[in-house]
């Protein structure tokens, strides 16, 4: 089994045409096609990536001191 990933642009007729090379002629092949729109034109951003400009908007933006809030009393459990 081979995995081939392609990024193709649809034509004005809303059809994506793909030619896939195979190993043997006159043989049946099973094809599995997953169609999903590309998130970003350069192919760099997937569903789990950071949004564009995220770090530029957040890095170095904290103002003030970091401190830990009181955590409350430790839970006392019944002895065994």
> pLDDT class for 50, splitting at 50, 70, 90?
confident
The tokens describing 80, both together, are 């065994």
For the cut 70, the answer to whether the pLDDT of residue 73 exceeds it is yes
17-37 pLDDT tens trace = 998 888 999 999 999 888 888
Collapse the DSSP code of 42 into the 3-class scheme (helix H, G, I; strand E, B; otherwise coil) and give the result: coil
CA distances from 39 to 12, 48, 49, 51 (A): 19, 11, 10, 10
In whole angstroms, give the CA distance from residue 23 to residue 20.
Answer: 10
Q: What predicted TM-score, i.e. pTM, was given to this entire model?
A: 0.41
- Check pLDDT > 70 for residue 64: yes
- Residue 53: pLDDT over 90: no
Q: How would residue 47 be classed by pLDDT, with cut points 50, 70 and 90?
A: low
Q: Phi, psi at residue 57, to the nearest 5°? A: -85, -20
Q: How large is the C-alpha radius of gyration of the chain?
A: 26
């Amino acid at each position: 089994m081979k995995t081939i990933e392609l990024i193709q642009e649809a034509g004005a007729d809303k059809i994506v045409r793909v030619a896939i090379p195979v190993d043997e002629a006159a043989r049946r092949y099973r094809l599995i096609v997953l169609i999903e729109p590309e998130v970003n034109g350069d192919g760099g951003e997937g569903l789990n990536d950071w949004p564009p400009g995220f770090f530029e908007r957040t890095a170095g933006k904290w103002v003030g001191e970091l401190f830990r809030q009181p955590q409350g009393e430790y839970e006392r459990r019944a002895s065994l």
